[in-house]
Amino acid sequence: MSTDIRGFIECHLNYREHEADSLWHATIALEHLNVPRNYGAFGCLFGVCDDGQFVPVVPVRGLPAGASDRVREGHETTGGRSASWVSWAEIKRVDWDEESAEPDCYIHEYHRDPQGEWQIHQRHYSAPRRFAELCGQPANATHPGRYFPEGSQWIDGDRMFRVERLTSRDAVLDEEWGSVWAVMGTLAELHGDDAVRLVVWFDD
């Protein structure tokens, strides 16, 4: 059964005339930012759907104090589980070059660019046909990286298949999460790093 992420970016606003009325407001839903299903990212950020490769940026720690009405209602109506949250201040402290504790169980496929450099193309959950032909593993075997030592590689012309560790940057891809970080960063410039947070939960 598949698992998807839901949630909102919240911003804390201080009303100068009525400081007691300071509130967290839901500014935009994740669904509007097209965050896809990616278990590597879920695990790296929140420890959800993870095989223990990373210490998560934040653990599952429930909805935050003072969560906005939209967040609480969204969490309740979707039957969300594993709720958590992360502030922009915490995201800014992430070492995106940190490596996973173990080699990735997915096979990494690289393509050679016009300058002759290898560029990551895809991570394979199951063995693609050409990789299976090169290594002798059954086609479509799941988690093919588990069957070979770290650093194993197979070059096929301008393609290369390799067993290696992930970095946090590999797991949380900018093309998938860049829009989230852009919105949070803009709000933080206006209101402060600790006044912006991402609140999430998961459903399946």
CB neighbours of 60 closer than 8 A, spacing ≥ 6?
A: 46, 47, 48, 82, 83, 84
C-beta of residue 202 within 8 angstroms of C-beta of residue 63: no
Three-state SS letters, 86-128: EEHHHHHCCCCCCECCCCCCCEEEEEECCCCCEEEEEEECECC
Domain count, the chain: 2
Domain assignment present for residue 177? The answer is yes
33: containing domain:
4-97+169-203
- The pLDDT value given to residue 51: 63
> Taking 90 as the threshold, does the pLDDT of residue 2 lie above it?
no
Residues 10 and 35 in one domain: yes
pLDDT tens track for 12-36: 987 555 444 459 999 999 999 999 9
Lowest model confidence (mean pLDDT) among 2-11, 23-32, 47-56, 122-131: 47-56
- What is the model's pLDDT at position 80? 82
| 153-156, strands of its sheet edge to edge | 118-124, 107-112, 159-162, 153-156
Domain contains 102: no
* Tokens coding 74: 């969204």
Q: Could you tell me if 175 and 159 lie in one domain?
A: no
15 and 79 in a single domain? The answer is yes
The token pair that represents 40 in the structure block = 């590597």
Q: What is the average pLDDT across 133-162?
A: 88
Distance of CA 100 to the CA centre of its chain: 13
- Helix, coil or strand: residue 154: strand
Reply yes or no on whether the pLDDT at 52 is more than 70. Answer: no
Within this chain, do residues 112 and 159 fall inside the same structural domain, yes or no? yes
Whether residue 18 is found in the same domain as residue 111: no
pLDDT at 20: 47
pLDDT, residue 127, reads 87
Specify whether the CB–CB gap between 120 and 170 falls below 8 A.
Answer: yes
- In a domain, residue 70? The reply is yes
Which is higher by pLDDT, 43 or 144? 43
Does 18 share its domain with 43? yes
pLDDT at 144: 84
Q: Is the dihedral of CA 178, 179, 182, 185 positive or negative?
A: negative
If asked whether residues 87 and 8 sit together in one domain, one would say yes
Per-chain mean pLDDT for the chain: 90
**Residues 75 and 112 reside in one and the same domain:** no
pLDDT tens digits for range 68-123: 999 999 999 888 889 999 999 999 999 999 999 889 888 999 999 999 999 989 88
Tokens found for residue 69: 């009405």
pLDDT at 167 over 80: yes
